[in-house]
Structure formats: C-alpha cells, structure tokens
C-alpha cells in the first residue's frame, strides 16, 4: 500500500511538473496584449513584465506566428540591451520611450548559435520603457519607423 501511494504521488508530481513547464513555455498560456500599428495591423503580444519573463523572452521558440510578438515592460526608461542567445528565430526589435513612441529599431536581427556569452548585443542610444519583438522582416510592412507611436494598454 505504501509503495502504491508513493508511485501515485510520484506520478502526480511528474504530471504537475511537466504540465507546469509546458504552460510556462507555451505561448497560448501567456496573457496577450493588443499592439496597434500604424498600418492598422494588430500584433498579439505576450507580456514580459517580470525579471524571469524578460530574461527568457522568445528563447527556445521554433516559430513565431504572423502578427504575434513579445512586449517587454520596464519600470524605468533605460538603454535596455537585448541579445539573441538561445533564440531560434530572427527578429525585428523595436524600442519605445515612456510615451510609446519608437526611438530605435533593429531590423532582421539574426539568431546567434554561439554557445558562450559572446552573442552580439543590441540597444538604443536613449532610454526605453518598452521593447517589442516581432518576426524579422515585418517591421517595414507594418509602417513602423522611428518616431511612430504604437498603441497598447499597460498590463
């Protein structure tokens, strides 16, 4: 009886752990924010508003759906640095000031396959409160350029 209880407990723990990991890494489980672009397209953006979510970002993803992305929220405007370590998809990176006005864009940022910490780093020349990551090559089609204001609610 003790062995059976232990086995059931271990199975439940394994299922809970696997289910939790799947939910944590699954884009469907993340809350989405609608980001309105000047072209009229709405990007469904996952929210990265905690240190853990910001550190992980879109790492380990094999695919990013069309009109989807990740929106990073910070508590204060700084020259936030991003890199592509462990990121399997090329991205366009868009930094915005506290008024949600685009201050810097990095287009077609390639993946980094280096196994050490020597991946290139990308950052703006002024303080940003928000950074939007979208699929590489889409920023121009969305009519996003420096000075453009994007519309989205704060979480």
Instruction: State the Cα–Cα distance between residues 107 and 86, nearest whole angstrom.
Output: 18
The SS3 assignment for 100 reads: coil
Round the CA-based radius of gyration of the chain to a whole number and report it.
18
Instruction: State the Cα–Cα distance between residues 12 and 15, nearest whole angstrom.
Output: 5
In Å, how far from its chain's centre is CA 101? 18
Contact status, residue 72 vs residue 54, Cβ threshold 8 Å: yes
Tell me which of 148 and 4 has the higher pLDDT: 148
Write the CB contacts of 49 (distance below 8 Å, at least 6 apart in sequence): 72, 73, 155
> Checking phi first, is residue 30 left (phi over 0); if not, alpha (psi -120 to 50) or beta?
beta
Tell me which of 108 and 9 has the higher pLDDT: 108
Note if the pTM is more than 0.75.
yes
Mean pLDDT of the chain: 83
Strands 42-48 and 68-78: parallel
Write the CB contacts of 81 (distance below 8 Å, at least 6 apart in sequence): 121, 122, 123
pLDDT in tens, 40-84: 999 999 999 999 999 999 999 999 998 999 999 999 999 999 999
């Amino acid at each position: 009886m003790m062995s059976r209880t232990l086995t059931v407990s271990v199975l439940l723990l394994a299922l809970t752990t696997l289910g939790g990991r799947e939910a944590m890494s699954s884009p469907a489980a993340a809350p989405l924010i609608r980001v309105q672009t000047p072209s009229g397209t709405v990007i469904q953006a996952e929210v990265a508003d905690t240190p853990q979510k910001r550190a992980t970002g879109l790492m380990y993803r094999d695919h990013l759906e069309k009109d989807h992305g990740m929106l990073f929220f910070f508590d204060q405007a700084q020259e936030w640095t991003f890199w592509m370590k462990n990121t399997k998809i090329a991205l366009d990176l868009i930094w915005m000031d506290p008024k949600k006005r685009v201050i810097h864009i990095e287009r077609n940022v390639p993946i980094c396959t280096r196994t050490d910490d020597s991946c290139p780093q990308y950052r703006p020349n002024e303080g940003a409160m928000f950074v939007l990551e979208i699929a590489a090559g889409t920023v121009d089609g969305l009519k996003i350029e420096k000075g453009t204001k994007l519309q989205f609610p704060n979480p």
